[in-house]
Amino acid sequence: MIRLVFFLIFAAGSLSAQEAVPQTPEAEPPMTYERLGNILFALDPGAEPSGPGFQMTVAGVQVLVITDINADRMRAMVPIRSAEALSDEDLVRMMQANFDSTLDARYAIANGTLWAAFIHPLSLLEKDQLISGLAQTVNIATTYGTLYSGGAAEFGGGDSTDLQRALIEELLKKGEEI
């Protein structure tokens, strides 16, 4: 009888433990040009296919999204300005930001233009990564020259936090005079 009671208690505990195990969500299907397009059109109904990519607007900013199926890559890009007149200070500041505050987006130079860019393997890209990458790309484009930030928490360990804190301290000091 004791064995039967022990078995029933153990069995009941096992069922509760099994019920408490969270179910793993289904993996997303691989990203394809078509799936990417569907997501981009959901974000911007005015998006337009353009060769192997798309042109769209995010928060009032024109974004170009390019795919290369053979290389399994995608790139979201926002032109910021001509790269010709960038000072050494500009270049150093962008490299500092690429280290700690741009997150998954990056400042890049190509064909004489300074770009904000998010680059990722196409097939491994998940919907939320795409959306976050687009937002970060737009954020680093719009904060160029000021915060140089992807808009989310900073990775840390770099120079951006101190530089941004210096701006806050400067403004607080100016505010003391008011």
Confidence of residue 9 (pLDDT cuts 50, 70, 90): very low
Q: Is the pLDDT of residue 175 over 60?
A: no
**What element of type H or E holds 88?**
helix 88-100
Task: Give 139's DSSP letter.
Answer: H
pLDDT per position as a tens digit, 71-130? 999 999 999 999 999 999 999 999 999 998 898 999 999 999 999 999 999 999 999 999
Sorted by where each begins, the domain ranges of the chain are: 27-176
Q: What's the pLDDT at 80?
A: 98
Domain 27-176 falls in which CATH fold? Yope Regulator; Chain: A, (3.30.1460)
Taken in order 74, 152, 115, 160, the sign of the CA dihedral is: negative
User: What phi and psi, each to the nearest 5 degrees, are found at residue 156?
Assistant: 90, 175
Q: What's the pLDDT at 20?
A: 56
Please indicate, yes or no, whether the overall pTM of this predicted structure exceeds 0.85. no
> Average pLDDT over the chain, rounded to whole?
82
Confidence of residue 151 (pLDDT cuts 50, 70, 90): confident
**Could you tell me which residue, 15 or 97, shows the higher pLDDT?**
97
Taking residues 48-76, what's their average pLDDT?
A: 96
Cα distance between residue 147 and residue 164, in whole Å? 7
Radius of gyration over alpha carbons of the chain, in Å? 24
